[in-house]
Structures are given as C-alpha cells and as structure tokens.
Amino acid sequence: MLVKSHPLGAAGLLPLRTVSATVASFPQLAAARTPRVEASLRRYVDRLPDGCPEQLREAIAYSLLAPGKRLRPLLALMAAEACGSDSDEAAVPAACAVEMVHCYSLVHDDLPAMDDDDLRRGRPTCHKVYGDGLAILVGDALLTLAFDVLAHDVRPASAAVACCRELARAAGAGQLVGGQADDLAGVDAANDLESLKSIHRRKTGAMFLASLRLGAICAGANEDQHRALEDYGAALGLAFQISDDLLDVEGNEAALGKRVGKDAGRGKLTYPGLLGIEESRQWAVALVDEACTALAGLGQRAASLEALARYVLERDR
C-alpha cells in the first residue's frame, strides 16, 4: 500500500515520492489499464459507420490513436475502482468518451485560428496533415462520438443520461469551451492569479472532474464517494496545470511531444511566470497532498488514484 502523506507535505514544503515497494508504480498501474482503453478506442474508430469517408476515418484515427498519456480515461477507470465497481469493463465506454472530448479539444485548439500549434503528441498536428477544414470536422466528429458512445454503451439508461449530462456540462460553454474562449481572448492578460485559475479550472479541471464523475456514475457511487472524488479532482486539476506550466518552462520537447516555452514566448500568463518556479512547485506538492487526503474515506481501493496524483509531480511529459 501507499504510505501516508508526509506531515510536512501538507504545508507544501517537501515533495512526496515515497510509494512503498510492495505497490506497483503509477506507470505500472497505468500500463495495466491503458491497453484496454487503446483497444476500445481503436474499436470505436473501426466501427465508424459506412457513411464516414475514408480520409475522415484516417484523420480521426491519426488524432485519437496517437500515443497519449490517457490520463482522463485512467481517472475514469480508477474512479470506478475506487467506488467499488464490480466490473472492470463498466467504465471503459466512459473512459473512451472523455478521451474523445479531450482529443477533439486538442485538435480544435491547435488550429491556426486558435493556438496555432504544429506539434502534438510528438507528431504534426491534425490540421498540418489533413488541412484546417478536415481538422475542424475531426473535432466535430469526436465530440459527437463521445455522446454516441455514452448513449450506446453505458448501462442502465439512468447512468447513461447522467454521464451525458456531466460530459455536456464539462465540455460546454461554461467550462471547456468557455475557458478556451477566454484564453483565446487573452483574458489572462489581466495578469492575476484568479483569472489564470478560472481559465484552467474550466479548460483542464472540469474535464478531470467529469472523468472522475463518469467513472463513479458507472460504478453506481454514493454521494460521499462523489464528494471525495470532487475534492480530489479539484486539487489534482490545479496541480496538473501547474506542473504543465513547469514542464513548459523546464521540460524536454522530445519527451513532451509538443513545443516548450511556447506559453512564455507568447506572453501568456503561467504559474511559474506569476509565482516563480519554486513557489509553483511547492504549491503543486501541497495540492497533490490535498488531493490524496480527500481520498481517505474511499480506502485502499483508491490507491491507484493516489499513485496517479503523486505521479503528476514526477512526470516529464
């Protein structure tokens, strides 16, 4: 099992990387789960209806099946486990749906009219390969497919509707799309921490939370479990974004698979830019501890979610 949080950790003073030797590392935990997700994603692409033009299918596969961390699917699967799901399979459609939405948002955000990025997951971005028009359609198709998957493959109907509701909220104008719109409009130019947190809460945090909630819904979670995951997800989302900003400053482009220094280069507000590298790092550590503390009531079944949170501080991509 995972050792208890170091007492100093909660104050954000020390990084906590002490996972006991008897427990699998996060990369091992992930490796035990992602092949199922990859296989399902591939199956969804293979099963696109006949009316889907071959080039569109190819562009969807190019974007969706590119090597990714699959963090959101893992959150869904691990949340289902943490809530005592009795089936390993129940949350797989939800895991695929959140990855489809994440992937659609990357494809659209990378467009020249948005962030104008050339590199994603170590490959040329979708529009660089297939053109802007088809890239817009790839995003549209993936967003639609996410709801298709939930409506077809989550059981019972009440859980499927709840999943559609959560995903639509997290992906909608008030969250994912709204955060990107503010980002696009340069709202963070206000140069304050609250604007930055508000954009990230919507752009990253909301989909982290939705991933956890969808997993929990598929496991038939109770209210206490939902609440614990919400606290976990809120802290984790912010920690992840801070670590993303740190990687953008310090990271290795080859490992990341995308350009580094691009946010700073564009004059975009980042946590290290606002708080300094060291304070940002300490805050991320404190947030990860906060996330892990929130899991306490879920017991040993939440060990993989704890490992995932700790990994946020260690990752190089």
| Nearest distance in Å: CB 140, its own copies | 5
Interacting positions 87-106 with its own copies (CB under 8 A): 104
Please, what is the minimum distance in Å from the beta carbon of residue 63 to its own copies?
12
Q: Is 187 in the site for its own copies (CB under 8 A)?
A: yes
- Evaluate whether 178 touches 202 at the Cβ level (below 8 Å): yes
Binding its own copies by CB under 8 A: which of 133, 194, 223, 278?
Answer: 133
Give min distance, CB of 82 to its own copies, in A. Answer: 24
| 40 contacts 149 by C-beta, under 8 angstroms | no
**Distance (Å, whole) CA 119 – CA 106:** 11
Task: State the residue for tokens 């990369």.
Answer: 27
Q: Which of 27, 35, 67, 174 binds its own copies (CB under 8 A)?
A: 174
Is residue 129 involved in binding its own copies (CB under 8 A)?
Answer: no
Q: Are 146 and 167 in contact (CB under 8 A)?
A: yes
Q: Under rule CB under 8 A, how many of the chain's residues touch its own copies?
A: 58
Q: Which of 8, 11, 32, 113 binds its own copies (CB under 8 A)?
A: 113
Q: Is the dihedral of CA 188, 308, 289, 209 positive or negative?
A: positive
Segment holding 298, helix H or strand E: none
Please measure the distance between the N-terminal and C-terminal CA atoms of the chain and give it in whole angstroms: 26
The whole-angstrom separation of Cα 287 and Cα 242 is: 10
With contact defined as beta carbons under 8 Å apart, do 176 and 208 qualify? Answer: no
Distance CA 199, CA 250 (A): 22
User: Given the complex with its own copies, which of 202 and 281 has the nearer CB atom?
Assistant: 202
Among 121, 182, 195, 220, the residue binding its own copies under the rule CB under 8 A is 182
Q: Which is nearer to its own copies, 10 or 61 (CB)?
A: 61
In sequence order, the 6+-apart residues with CB closer than 8 A to the CB of 100 are 41, 44, 64, 142, 143, 145, 146, 149
Q: Least CB distance from residue 300 to its own copies, whole Å?
A: 33
Q: Which of residues 25-64 bind its own copies (CB under 8 A)?
A: 48-53, 55-57, 60
Placement of tokens 């946020």 in the chain: 312
Site string for its own copies, 140-159 (x = CB under 8 A): xx-xxx-xx-xxx----xx-
CB nearer its own copies, residue 194 or residue 278: 194
Point out which residues bind its own copies (CB under 8 A): 48-53, 55-57, 60, 104, 108, 111, 113-114, 131-134, 136-137, 139-141, 143-145, 147-148, 150-152, 157-158, 160-162, 164-165, 167-169, 171-175, 177-182, 184-185, 187, 198, 202
